């Protein structure tokens, strides 16, 4: 099953629609609540990352064979140092983003923690693509 | 296979004679529990959470709450009215609590027991429960029975966050029963009747989540009793007292929104109103809100004063109850001898307050087998694309998404969409199944 969503830069109010929609589907499939939560938390974090740091992007979700693969691709500045970005508390978020309660430097570490596989493809000045996999059964 | 067992039962009923199938209730139901069949609203037992929104919305008063026959009280020698503080809040302040109780006695009750008397005792039990479960961060109050059912069907992952303890009503019923038995009255002679402000509380008495006996013989709708008492009040000259001691100000405020939260440290969340509760639980489920300690959730606006069986505007009733609490605080201050007796709440009652298990009852799950559910979800997505997406409800389902789900579950036919094959015989037959004779035959 395939789902596509678009991400709008700076629109925190509407962020979370992708994760809500995915949550509903996973509930229909009777997926274990703990796995639903992992999926939703990871997807929401990735969505917020793209809203806060990039100039928009797309989310592609595929559910099949007992696993969910979520690809969040943004057109943004890219991540200059992935090792640093993976550290808890490290953030390049702007003051404005922090004021909204985001930018605590927990995004990528939290995604890593909640997924079974995480691939990060990033190119400075072009964008970042996260490929997240969660085993559902 | 879709689950066919009925695990919830309800007191909300549809009067087929009055129902016109107008779809108002169906569109407002938060769990999509209503369909139109044969031109009438039909409520699904397993999806309904007893919130009462359908009853509130019905323009023809076709949805009602089944109550026990009032004459049932005559079967008992000892007839106890369990009266919640909200009932007193239905009357103007010029009527004293004692006048209202006198009317209840005139109506046939031998004893009056104030439900919220047990609040202080219960707060201690809640606190003990929370201390005994350090692994849980957020505790959902079990007070509002509609919230418990909502969590069971819509938020199964949060079921373990509900405090597994019963409500002040359960404590009150057991306390009064014990008191009367101790006085040597035979069990068969004791009839305990609860005056309910809402549908959810009836369901929680008649069909408790724990399947344990509630010791309550019958339930009386608050609006019904209000009318009876109101008629008598104008020429009442006597007064009467409840057998338990005066409520504390905190007891009186408990049924109001924020009244429960006020008893717990750390200024807990207090959320009231169905849509607010749903939004809050959505966020809580995804860890988007951090709510350490107790969260008070009430499906009705302003708490129990907003119950469907109340007769007064919830803000007016709230004000009256706040005034009553102030009056009680002043009385307590003026008369040092006024003490609150909580001796009737024993260890034994505390043990009976535990709810052994609250089961998740997901209303979303399409099938227990992942593979089957997956195929159904795929098919549902495909069907949804075919449907017009205007949620007209002419098919007898609240939305196109709901119809798609009904189709894959085998509960509806794709031809019941008036936009699909709209001139075929199959379509006409399907529409007629939903709408009955109000559909005129097409003459060409």
Which residues of chain A are within 8 Å of residue B377 when distances are taken between CB atoms?
1, 25, 28-29
Q: Which of B26-30, B213-217, B336-340 has the highest mean pLDDT?
A: B26-30
Q: Is the pLDDT of residue B337 over 60?
A: no
- Residue A20 in contact with partner chain B when CB distance is under 8 A: yes
Mutation target among B135, B153, B364 for the A interface, most CBs of A within 10 A: B364
| Domain boundary assignment for chain B | 1-66, 70-134+163-253+305-352, 369-444
- Across the interface, of B285, B286, B368, the residue whose CB is closest to A30 is B368
What local confidence, expressed as pLDDT, does residue A112 receive? 87
CATH 1.10.15.40 fits B369-444, yes or no: yes
What local confidence, expressed as pLDDT, does residue B444 receive? 39
Check CB contact under 8 Å for B370 and A28. no
- Residue-wise pLDDT for B369-399, tens only, equals 888 999 999 999 999 988 888 899 999 999 9
What value does the mean pLDDT take over residues B300-326? 95
What local confidence, expressed as pLDDT, does residue B188 receive? 94
What value does the mean pLDDT take over residues A28-35? 90
The 3 state secondary structure assigned to chain B is CCCCCCCCCCCEEECCCCCCCCCHHHHHCCCCCEEEECCEEEECCCCCCCCCHHHHHCCCCCEEECCCCHHHHHHCCEEEEEECHHHHCCCCCCCCHHHHHHHHHHCCCCEEEEHHHHHHHHHHHHHHHHHHCCCCCEEECCCCHHHHHHHHHHCHHHHHHECCECCHHHHHHHHHHHHHHHCCCCHHHEEEEEEECCHHHHHHHHCCCCCCCCCCCEEEEHHHHHHHHHHHHCCCCCCCCCCCCCCCHHHHHCCECCCCHHHCCCCCEEEECHHHHHHHHHHHHCCCCCCCEEEEEECCCCEHHHCCCCCCCHHHHHHHHHHHHHHHHHHHHHCCCCCCCCCCCCHHHHHHCECCCCCCCCCCCCCCCHHHHHHHHHHHHHHHHHCCCCCCCCCCCCCHHHHHHHHHCCCCCHHHCCCCCCCCHHHHHHHHHHHHHHCCCCCC
- Residue A38 in contact with partner chain B when CB distance is under 8 A: no
Which residues of chain A are within 8 Å of residue B157 when distances are taken between CB atoms?
33-34, 36-37
Mutation target among A28, A31, A61 for the B interface, most CBs of B within 10 A: A28
What local confidence, expressed as pLDDT, does residue B4 receive? 47
Instruction: Give pTM, 2 decimals.
Output: 0.86
What value does the mean pLDDT take over residues B187-201? 94
- The fold of the B70-134+163-253+305-352 domain, in CATH, is Rossmann fold (3.40.50)
Which CATH number is associated with domain B1-66?
3.30.70.20
- Residue A35 in contact with partner chain B when CB distance is under 8 A: no
What value does the mean pLDDT take over residues A93-121? 77
Check CB contact under 8 Å for B286 and A136. no
- Across the interface, of B157, B286, B364, the residue whose CB is closest to A28 is B364
Q: Is the pLDDT of residue A34 over 60?
A: yes
What local confidence, expressed as pLDDT, does residue A97 receive? 66
- Residue-wise pLDDT for B22-64, tens only, equals 999 999 999 999 999 999 999 998 889 999 999 999 999 999 9
What local confidence, expressed as pLDDT, does residue B237 receive? 67
Of B86-95, B218-227, B232-241, B312-321, the one with minimum mean pLDDT is B232-241
Of A50-54, A98-102, B331-335, B363-367, the one with minimum mean pLDDT is A98-102
pLDDT band (50, 70, 90) for residue A100? low
- Residue A123 in contact with partner chain B when CB distance is under 8 A: no
pLDDT band (50, 70, 90) for residue B211? confident
pLDDT band (50, 70, 90) for residue B301? very high
> Given this chain, do its domains B1-66 and B369-444 carry the same CATH topology?
no
Check CB contact under 8 Å for A30 and B282. no
What value does the mean pLDDT take over residues B292-296? 95
- Residue A25 in contact with partner chain B when CB distance is under 8 A: yes
List residues of B whose CB lies inside 8 A of any A CB.
156-157, 282, 285-288, 360, 362, 364-368, 370, 373-374, 376-378, 380-381
Higher local confidence (pLDDT), B219 or B418: B219
Check CB contact under 8 Å for B288 and A34. no
Q: List, in order of start, the domains of chain A with CATH numbers.
A: 2-135 (3.30.565.10)
The ipTM (two decimal places) reads 0.79
């Amino acid at each position: 099953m395939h789902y596509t969503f678009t991400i709008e830069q700076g629109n925190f109010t509407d962020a979370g629609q992708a994760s809500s929609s995915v949550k509903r589907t996973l509930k229909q499939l009777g997926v274990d609540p703990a796995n639903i939560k992992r999926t939703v938390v990871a997807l929401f974090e990735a969505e917020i990352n793209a809203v806060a740091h990039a100039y928009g992007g797309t989310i592609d979700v595929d559910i099949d064979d007992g696993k969910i693969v979520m690809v969040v691709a943004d057109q943004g500045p890219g991540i200059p140092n992935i090792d640093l970005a993976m550290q808890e508390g490290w953030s390049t978020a702007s003051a404005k983003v922090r004021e909204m309660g985001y930018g605590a430097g927990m995004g990528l570490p939290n995604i890593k923690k909640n997924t079974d596989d995480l691939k990060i493809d990033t190119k400075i000045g072009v964008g970042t693509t996260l490929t997240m996999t969660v085993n559902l059964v | 296979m879709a689950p066919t067992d009925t695990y919830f039962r309800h007191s909300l009923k549809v009067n087929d004679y009055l129902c016109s199938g107008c779809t108002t209730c169906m569109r407002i139901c938060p769990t999509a529990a209503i369909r139109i069949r044969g031109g009438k609203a039909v409520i699904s037992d397993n999806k309904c959470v007893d919130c009462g929104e359908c009853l509130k919305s019905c323009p023809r008063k076709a949805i009602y709450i089944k109550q026990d026959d009032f004459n049932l009280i005559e079967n008992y020698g000892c007839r106890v009215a369990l009266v919640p503080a909200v009932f007193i809040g239905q009357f103007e302040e010029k009527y004293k609590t004692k006048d209202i109780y006198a009317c209840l006695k005139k109506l046939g009750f031998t004893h009056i027991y104030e439900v919220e008397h047990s609040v202080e005792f219960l707060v201690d039990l809640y606190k003990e429960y929370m201390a005994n479960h350090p692994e849980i961060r957020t505790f959902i109050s079990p007070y509002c029975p509609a919230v418990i059912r909502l969590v069971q069907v819509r938020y199964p992952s949060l079921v373990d966050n509900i405090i597994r303890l019963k409500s002040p009503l359960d404590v009150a019923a057991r306390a009064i029963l014990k008191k009367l038995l101790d006085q040597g009255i035979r069990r068969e002679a004791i009839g305990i009747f609860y005056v309910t402000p809402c549908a959810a509380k009836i369901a929680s008495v008649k069909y408790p989540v724990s399947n344990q006996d509630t010791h309550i013989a019958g339930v009386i709708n608050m609006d019904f009793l209000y009318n009876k008492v109101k008629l008598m009040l104008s020429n009442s000259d006597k007064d009467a007292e409840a057998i338990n001691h005066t409520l504390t100000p905190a007891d009186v405020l408990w049924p109001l929104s924020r009244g429960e939260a006020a008893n717990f440290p750390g200024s807990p969340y207090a959320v009231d109103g169905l849509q607010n509760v749903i939004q809050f639980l959505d966020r809580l489920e995804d860890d988007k809100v951090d709510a350490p300690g107790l969260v008070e959730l009430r499906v009705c606006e302003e708490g129990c004063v907003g119950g469907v069986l109340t007769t007064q505007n919830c803000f007016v009733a709230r004000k009256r109850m706040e005034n009553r609490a102030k009056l009680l605080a002043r009385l307590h201050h003026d008369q040092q001898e006024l003490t609150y007796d909580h001796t009737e709440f024993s260890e034994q009652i505390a043990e009976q307050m535990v709810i052994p298990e609250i089961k998740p009852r997901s209303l979303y799950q399409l099938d227990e087998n992942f593979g089957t559910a997956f195929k159904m979800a795929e098919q549902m997505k495909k069907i949804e694309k075919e449907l017009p997406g205007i949620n007209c409800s002419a098919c007898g389902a609240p939305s196109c998404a709901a119809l798609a789900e009904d189709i894959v579950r085998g509960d509806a036919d794709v031809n019941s969409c008036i936009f699909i094959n709209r001139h075929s015989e199959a379509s006409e037959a399907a529409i007629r199944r939903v709408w009955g004779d109000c559909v005129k035959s097409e003459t060409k």
